[in-house]
A and B are shown apart, each in its own frame.
Chain A
Amino acid sequence: MYTDFEIDALKEIGNIGAGNAATALSTLLSKKIIIKVPQIKIIPFDEVSKSVGGPEKLVVGIFMRITGDIDGNILIIIPEKDAYNLTETLLSKEKDGDLDFSDMEKSALLELGNIVGSSYVVALSDLTKLSLKVSVPSLAFDMAGAIISFPLSLYGYMGDTAFLIDTEFTEGLDGTKLHYFLIPDDESLKLLLKAIGVNTIEHIDPSGNGGV
């Protein structure tokens, strides 16, 4: 599928995006943020939810759609407990006993998604000189499997595996974690590689498209 060189190039793209997003998140929370080296995951659909604790794990998902020169999806997954911690930090008050999120808390998390999502994409756009737009974020608080299935299902037309660039953000002191998934649409991956000057070795393409 992809060569090691291409995978490394995509990791670097993820790293640059995540670096910018981490700076923005750190400013927002006034806390130190650590990012792990992004992981490129090409895995069966069923295994994606495992990386965030299993299909029934309760999580907050924030979804944004990228459009422009390339298309794709951003999905930020925050485990339940970490989402509570984040709302407490963002709103500077303790979470009430209610397990669900109030409108105010949801809106704070959406804003966090917005800032992290767009700063990642801005860095991506600067690096690749591609023109990219990010949609308004949308939030769901539900089972991880249900949340992740939507952006993944679109891959179903292309094959039996999903392609994700997964970056884990950790907030230094409390260990609050969130996962940032960049899920480019299939064709967009090639364009993304091309934009940073990585010429994909042309596999035989009967349609004659996509030649480099």
Chain B
Amino acid sequence: MSISIRVGMAEYKAAKSPATLITLGLGSCVGVVLYDSFAKIGGLAHVMLPDSNLSSKKDYNPGKFADTAIDALMQEMSKLGANERHIISKIAGGAQMFQIKSENNIMQIGKRNVEAVRTKLSKVNIKIVAEDVEGNYGRTIEFFCETGELTVKTIGHGIRIL
């Protein structure tokens, strides 16, 4: 039996094989998986928002923002013994659940989250090897640290393995 670790909104967790990391009901949020396949150490961050600079508080939780969650997650993984140079990434989520025309771009938070995650990952030289992003539906994702597989479950849009 492997342990299944739940990652809630704005959380980030790292784990070693044979554990699995799971996050339920991703909507506009983005699930960012980081993985060192040599050490079989995985990490999952449930990112809510693109940019920590817009936070009105200084002592924010780093797991909320794309630009800070990825750094924080990498640190957690390093603690378990992951090698930063081996880390690759898989991302899922960033949907726009409601189609509403709006004068500002807050409605497109999902898309902006995905862009911010991409920007941050390229800044720290982590390659995105697979992704299932945007669209207008929710996703539940589970990452298997043993195999490096990410399953993406949806309602009415099938199951995908990345």
Q: Which residues of A contact B (CB under 8 A)?
A: 44-46, 49, 54-56, 58, 61, 63, 65, 100, 135-136, 138-150, 152-154, 156-160
Task: Determine the chain A residues whose CB is within 8 A of the CB of B56 once the complex forms.
Answer: 157-158
Task: Determine the chain A residues whose CB is within 8 A of the CB of B25 once the complex forms.
Answer: 49, 55-56, 143-146, 149
Answer yes or no: B48 CB below 8 A from chain A CBs.
Answer: yes
A66 to chain B, nearest CB (A): 12
B27 touches A149 (CB 8 A): yes
Contacts A44-B9, A55-B24 aside, 18 further interface pairs with beta carbons under 8 A come to A45-B10, A56-B24, A61-B97, A63-B98, A65-B100, A140-B97, A140-B98, A142-B155, A143-B24, A145-B26, A146-B25, A146-B26, A147-B27, A149-B9, A149-B29, A153-B29, A156-B64, A158-B56
Answer yes or no: B79 CB below 8 A from chain A CBs.
Answer: no
A145 touches B10 (CB 8 A): no
Complex Cα–Cα for A19 and B139 (A): 35
A-B CB proximity, top 9 nearest: A145-B25, A146-B138, A146-B27, A55-B25, A46-B8, A138-B98, A149-B27, A143-B25, A143-B138
Answer yes or no: B99 CB below 8 A from chain A CBs.
Answer: yes
Answer yes or no: B54 CB below 8 A from chain A CBs.
Answer: yes
B24 touches A153 (CB 8 A): no
Task: Determine the chain A residues whose CB is within 8 A of the CB of B64 once the complex forms.
Answer: 156, 160
Answer yes or no: B137 CB below 8 A from chain A CBs.
Answer: yes
Main SS at interface, chain B: loop
A-B contact count (CB 8 A): 106
Write 27 A-B pairs (CB below 8 A) sorted by A numbering: A45-B48, A46-B8, A46-B10, A54-B24, A58-B155, A61-B97, A140-B98, A141-B155, A142-B97, A142-B137, A143-B24, A143-B155, A145-B27, A145-B138, A146-B26, A146-B95, A146-B97, A146-B139, A147-B97, A149-B25, A149-B27, A149-B29, A152-B9, A156-B48, A156-B49, A157-B55, A157-B56
**B contact residues, total (Cβ < 8 Å):** 36
Complex Cα–Cα for A118 and B91 (A): 38
Closest to B95 in A: A146
B27 touches A157 (CB 8 A): no
Closest to B97 in A: A140
Tell me whether A153 and B49 are in contact in the complex, defined as CB-CB below 8 angstroms, given that A145-B24, A147-B27 are known contacts.
yes
Task: Determine the chain A residues whose CB is within 8 A of the CB of B57 once the complex forms.
Answer: 158-159
Complex Cα–Cα for A153 and B60 (A): 14
Answer yes or no: B158 CB below 8 A from chain A CBs.
Answer: no
* Most A C-beta atoms less than 10 A away, residue of B48, B97, B136: B97
A154 touches B10 (CB 8 A): no
Closest to B10 in A: A45
Complex Cα–Cα for A63 and B10 (A): 22
Closest to A186 in B: B56
Complex Cα–Cα for A139 and B98 (A): 6
A150 touches B97 (CB 8 A): yes
Complex Cα–Cα for A150 and B57 (A): 20
A181 to chain B, nearest CB (A): 14
Q: Mark B1-28, 1 if CB is under 8 A from A, else 0.
A: 0000000111100000000000011111
Complex Cα–Cα for A132 and B66 (A): 33
* Most B C-beta atoms less than 10 A away, residue of A49, A145, A148: A145
Answer yes or no: B122 CB below 8 A from chain A CBs.
Answer: no
B28 touches A153 (CB 8 A): yes
Tell me whether A154 and B106 are in contact in the complex, defined as CB-CB below 8 angstroms, given that A55-B25, A140-B97 are known contacts.
yes
